[in-house]
Amino acid sequence: MELKFYLGVLVKKWWLVIPVFLITLTATVALTFTQQPTYQASTTMIVAPSPSFGDVKSFASGLNILSTRQEIASTYAEIGASRLMKNQAADILGLEKESRKLYKVSGQMQAGTNIIAMTVEGPDPATVTNLANQIGVELTTYAAGLYETFVLRSLDQATMPVAPIRPNKALNIVMAAVLGLGLAVGLAFLSEYLQTPVESGVSINFIDNETGIYNKLYFLKRLGEEMIRAKRNRYPLAVALMRIDDLKMLRGAQSAKIKSEVLRQISVLTSQYLRDEDIVARFDQDTFAFLLPDVTGDNAKAIMEYLQTRIAWTPFESSTNGIKLNLTGTVGIVAYDHNGTGRDELIAKAGQALELAEVDEAKTHLVAGHISPSNSDE
């Protein structure tokens, strides 16, 4: 499906796309601005050998122990994040027991160093700052009686945060817009898929398995849509049917396989010389259908004559027996002129033009959409 088809579905389903997008965006914005903000503050401390190391050699030995046994600093970090340290600090600050549940304490050792950071998160910026600093004081006191050879020293005090770390309003709004758009587009295409009629209980498939291009069902669907668009905007539109000559003459056990290979090669060849917005489909056994939006009848005739030339100049080789086939194509073209002609009638007129092309030396015949069967041979 090319870009125009996707855009056409979105325009057609605007009544679904816009509300879903706005509901998703509005709900996220409302949730973001009503969500309780979370602030964060951190204090840092450093683990160092205690003054008990009396000489330089002993002090260096203490540093070596710290560098090789990082579990010492990790132990301090875990103690700082414990309920004991949190409750002791909260008691000193006079923080109520119910309020303490709103604050989360974590300790982390900074990789490659003997520095640990005690971090507090909660709804009040002043409280997280005071709590982080007080936990640092309580941890320093507690650590003094834990290891005689090592001490904790304050490095940086926690400062009051000026903005919450959550929610990130700008990021949430951008993500909501992306999610809302994706959800709206997905629902639009799902709705379009579910509304597509299923013929004879067979699951919908728009691709012809033998040639790899679109099938007749998809072609007729797109033709109806393009006719509506062309009539509304007064754009030109042309439809062409090309029958590949001489394929019916193939005989033998391998004829079906050879025919399939040739048709696939012709599908690839014709698709190379068409625009992205053009549609080529397999219409029946040996006939291709072409939908050419924004193309007049005369221009469509020029395009199809060029395709006929490319087919005539290209030898189509079968991998089955190595045989090379030189083929030609007969083309019937009809130009839609916005006069109320229906889809099936337009296809019928293209078929009439194809029959007339059989007796045309150029093997190409063009009729206008308003020409009736009685004078279509004029």
100 versus 10: which is more confidently predicted? 100
DSSP-derived 3-state class of residue 318: coil
Query: 135 pLDDT exceeds 80?
Result: yes
102 versus 256: which is more confidently predicted? 102
pTM: 0.47
In 3-state terms the chain splits into helix, strand, coil percentages (rounded to 5) of 50, 20, 30
Half-sphere exposure of 42 toward its Cβ, with a 13 Å CA cutoff? Answer: 15
- State the DSSP H helix or E strand holding residue 173, giving kind and residue range, or none if neither: helix 169-195
Half-sphere exposure of 115 toward its Cβ, with a 13 Å CA cutoff? Answer: 11
Query: How confident is residue 67, by pLDDT bands cut at 50, 70 and 90?
Result: low
Query: How confident is residue 3, by pLDDT bands cut at 50, 70 and 90?
Result: low
Query: In the prediction, which pLDDT does 372 show?
Result: 36
The two beta strands, 364-368 and 329-336, are parallel
Mean pLDDT of 224-247: 90
Strand order through the sheet with 104-109: 104-109, 115-122, 39-49, 150-156
Query: In the prediction, which pLDDT does 317 show?
Result: 78
The whole-angstrom separation of Cα 252 and Cα 40 is 81
What percent of the chain stands above pLDDT 70?
85
Query: In the prediction, which pLDDT does 69 show?
Result: 56
Query: In the prediction, which pLDDT does 65 show?
Result: 56
Phi, psi of 330 (to 5 degrees): -105, 135
Query: 336 pLDDT exceeds 50?
Result: yes
pLDDT in tens, 273-325: 999 899 999 998 899 999 999 999 999 999 999 999 999 898 887 776 677 88
Query: How confident is residue 377, by pLDDT bands cut at 50, 70 and 90?
Result: very low
Query: How confident is residue 256, by pLDDT bands cut at 50, 70 and 90?
Result: confident
Query: In the prediction, which pLDDT does 66 show?
Result: 52
Query: In the prediction, which pLDDT does 201 show?
Result: 41
Query: 39 pLDDT exceeds 90?
Result: yes
pLDDT in tens, 359-374: 877 777 787 654 333 3
Query: In the prediction, which pLDDT does 51 show?
Result: 66
What does the block give as tokens for 340?
């109320």
Instruction: Tell me which of 13-22, 58-67, 167-176 is least confident.
Output: 58-67
Query: In the prediction, which pLDDT does 200 show?
Result: 42
Query: In the prediction, which pLDDT does 64 show?
Result: 56
Half-sphere exposure of 130 toward its Cβ, with a 13 Å CA cutoff? Answer: 14
Mean pLDDT of 47-69: 57
Query: 133 pLDDT exceeds 80?
Result: yes
pLDDT in tens, 257-270: 888 888 999 999 99
Query: How confident is residue 52, by pLDDT bands cut at 50, 70 and 90?
Result: low
Mean pLDDT of 148-152: 76
Mean pLDDT of 95-111: 90
Mean pLDDT of the chain: 84
Domains within the chain, CATH numbers bracketed: 3-35+167-191 (no CATH), 39-156 (3.30.70.1130), 196-368 (3.30.70.270)
